[in-house]
Each structure stands twice: as structure tokens, then as C-alpha cells.
Amino acid sequence: MHKGTIVGALAGLLLGAGLAQAQTPKVAITAIVDHPALEAVRDGVKEGLAKAGYAEGKDVTFVYESAQGQAPTAVQIARQFVGDKASVIVAISTPSAQAVASATKSIPVIFSAVTDPVGAQLVKSAEKPGGNVTGVSDMAPFADQLALVKEITPNVKTIGVLFNPGEANSVTSLAMIKAAAEKLGLAVVEGPATKSAEVQAAARGLIGKADALFVPTDNTIVSAFEAAVGAAQQGKIPVYAADTDSVARGALASVGFNYKQIGLETAELVAKVLKGENPGDLPVVFAQGTDLYLNKGMAAKLGITLPEALVARATKVVD
């Protein structure tokens, strides 16, 4: 074969490979911070897309960036993904979703683990999102969670809620927790922390004011969960959590969602968009789940006896 022909053939192959790579959809994933629940969502998205026929590296490419708890970084990541012309952007958590939704009105955005997408102004309504955004909400079953507190520790009269007042989802959660607590005859005291370094002090500030601590699906607090647990142990009071992944990290108990499942549900929406559907036409999905996690080891440390009937119906018991 003539040298020029060989060079031409190689150039053609390289061009073809480049076009194939360019045509491979890019799914860009971001989260406000790294912690087990959000990581489970991310892993669920990848697993769900693989089940839908989108093999990583072949049918789809992934990029992932964490904002490490910094809102300005979340904005930078959003702009980066838009500049890179991602096919779909998956935004895990309310702050990341707000940053991405503000950065683009054309690239499809699928949010995940967002408590109140309407209140966060991500969608016009859950039924008809409109625009380029839809996703999966993890609106927690606060009434069930506080009922669990009463079942395990019936003497609890006041709940101390740790939350970041700068997170829209946490403000919504706090209002819902107060409403649920009132119905159960529980008082609520607030423990605000605007960054992870403040969590321990916020928890310590609730000792003597609260009979138990409660951590909603607040990314700032969950990222420093062990600090809250340490402070609560010093005060000899239990910590309850809205997300089940925090039970292995020291929460006494939680009833809630499997965040890997939330990731799988998110992947279903991503797959629909990759096949050409408009995000604004896809209703918001509300996560369903009643997984019950108990921490037997923490109960023993606090001198709390877990009801046998509760242990019997638990999804998982941590020793």
C-alpha cells in the first residue's frame, strides 16, 4: 500500500474514533459534598444506567465533581459542566441542583436527593416541571421518624434539630419537623451550623436543652455526623437521623430511604432524557421507602433497650 494511502487510512480511523467518542453521551454528576448517602445516589445512577443499556466507557461517559461543601465551588462546577457541553447534568443535593439550574436553561438537568424542588425553585410544579429540569425528591417521612423517637425513647420531650439555615432543603425540613413534633407533643430547639466545622459546637450547645438530637437530610450536618455523635455521647443523649446511612456512623435509629435506590430511580429519568424525552415533561419522582435501621451498639453505650418488636421488623441492625 502506498505511504500516502496508509497515512490517509490512519487519519480516517482516528477521525472516525474521534467522532464516535464525540457522539458518546456525557453524563456529568455533581454533589455538594461527599458523604455515604450522596455517594450511594451517585453509585445508583451509574448502576441504573448500566442496567438501562448504557455501559460506562462504551455507551456513555461519566464525570464527577464534589463541591466539598462550598457553595461557590458548586457554581464553578456547574459552569464547567455547561462549558463542557455535557449531555445531561445530574445534580445531587439542593445546593448543587440550584447551582446547575441557574447555569443552564438548555442542557437537561436531573436533580436527586432534593427535599423540596418546588420550594427550591427548581421546578414550577412536581407534576409539570417545565423547562429543562426534573428529578427525584427525598422528602423525608418526618412523622414516622419522630414516632420512632417516641417508640424507642418515650421519655424524650424535647428534640434538638441540627441544621444549616443556609440550605433551602433544611429550612423546609425544619418547618416540617416542627409540625410533626407538635402533633406528637414534642418541643423543638434549633441547633444551627452554617459549615461542617460548626457542627460539634452546635451539638454541644443543645446538651442540657434537648433530650435527643435529630439530624435531617442536611448535607452540612451529615458531612460532620461523627462530630455531632461525639458531642451527644458526652451529654449521654441519643442522635436520630433522617437518612439510614447515618446509623452505621453513630445514629441510634432511622426510618427512611435506601439512597442507592434513589440513585437507581434517578437513572431512570436520565435514561429517558438520553433517549430524547424532555425533562420538563417528566414529573418529579418522590422516593418511597420505609427501611428501618437500628444501632444496637450505640443503644448499649447509652443504656437504652431497643424494643424486641422493633428489632424484629428492622431492615438492618448495626452492632
pLDDT tens, position by position, for the chain (319 residues)?
444 444 444 444 444 444 344 579 999 999 999 998 899 999 999 999 999 999 999 999 999 999 999 999 999 999 999 999 999 999 999 999 999 999 999 999 999 999 999 999 999 999 999 999 999 999 889 999 999 999 999 999 999 999 999 988 899 999 999 999 999 999 999 999 999 999 999 999 999 999 999 999 899 999 999 999 999 999 999 999 999 999 999 999 999 988 999 999 999 999 999 999 999 999 999 998 789 999 999 999 999 999 999 999 999 999 8
To the nearest whole number, what is the mean pLDDT of the chain? 92
- Compute CA 213 distance to the chain's CA centroid, rounded to the nearest angstrom: 20
Instruction: Look up the CATH architecture of domain 142-256+291-317.
Output: 3-Layer(aba) Sandwich (3.40)
Give ranges for CATH 3.40.50.2300 in the chain: 26-138+258-286, 142-256+291-317
User: What CATH topology corresponds to 26-138+258-286?
Assistant: Rossmann fold (3.40.50)
pTM of the model: 0.80
3-state secondary structure the chain: CCHHHHHHHHHHHHHHHHHHHHHCCEEEEEECCCCHHHHHHHHHHHHHHHHCCCCECCCEEEEEEECCCCHHHHHHHHHHHHHCCCCEEEEECHHHHHHHHHHCCCCCEEEEEECCCCCCCCCCCCCCCCCCEEEEECCCCHHHHHHHHHHHCCCCCEEEEEECCCCHHHHHHHHHHHHHHHHCCCEEEEEECCCHHHHHHHHHHHECCECEEEECCCHHHHHCHHHHHHHHHHCCCCEEECCHHHHHHCCCEEEECCHHHHHHHHHHHHHHHHCCCCHHHCCCEECCCCEEEEEHHHHHHHCCCCCHHHHHHCCEEEC
Angle (CA) 73 76 80, round 5° = 140
d(CA 95, CA 81): 16
Q: How many CB atoms lie within 10 A of CB 241?
A: 32
Phi and psi torsions of 184, nearest 5°: -100, 5
Q: Write out pLDDT tens, residues 291-319.
A: 999 999 999 999 999 999 999 999 999 98
